[in-house]
Amino acid sequence: MSVTDSFLRGEKKYELVPDQQIIMAGTTLYRIRALRDFGNVKAGTLGGFVASERNLSHHGDCWVGDDARAYDEAVVSEDAQLRGRACAYDRARIGDKGQVLGNAQVFEDGRVFRNGIAFDNVMIYGHAQVRDHGLAFGNAIICDHVRVLDWGQVCGHARLSGKSVVGGHEKVGGVVSHAPQRRPTGRGRGGPRFPSPGGRRR
C-alpha count within 13 angstroms, C-beta hemisphere, residue 179: 14
pLDDT for position 24:
81
Residues in a beta bridge with 28: 23
pLDDT for position 2:
36
pLDDT in tens, 71-98: 999 999 999 999 999 999 999 999 999 9
Listing DSSP states for 37-49 in one string gives -BTTBPTT-EEEE
pLDDT in tens, 124-148: 999 999 999 999 999 999 999 999 9
pTM: 0.86
pLDDT in tens, 17-76: 999 999 986 899 999 999 999 999 999 999 999 999 999 999 999 999 999 999 999 999
Whether 197 shows a pLDDT value over 80: the answer reads no
pLDDT for position 192:
61
pLDDT for position 182:
60
Residues in a beta bridge with 32: 16
What integer is the mean pLDDT of 149-159?
A: 97
Number of Cβ within 10 Å of residue 23's Cβ equals 8
The Cα–Cα gap between 117 and 130 comes to 7
pLDDT in tens, 7-16: 555 689 999 9
pLDDT in tens, 98-130: 999 999 999 999 999 999 999 999 999 999 999
Pairing type for strands 87-88 and 135-136 reads unpaired
pLDDT for position 1:
34
Name the residue with higher pLDDT: 169 or 26.
169
pLDDT for position 11:
85
Residues in a beta bridge with 195: 201
**What φ, ψ does residue 54 adopt, rounded to 5°?**
-70, -20
Q: Any idea what the Cα angle at residue 62 is, between residues 201 and 75, rounded to 5°? A: 65
Parse the chain into domains and list their residue ranges.
9-172
* Nearest alpha-carbon partner for 127 in 162, 82, 89, 175: 162
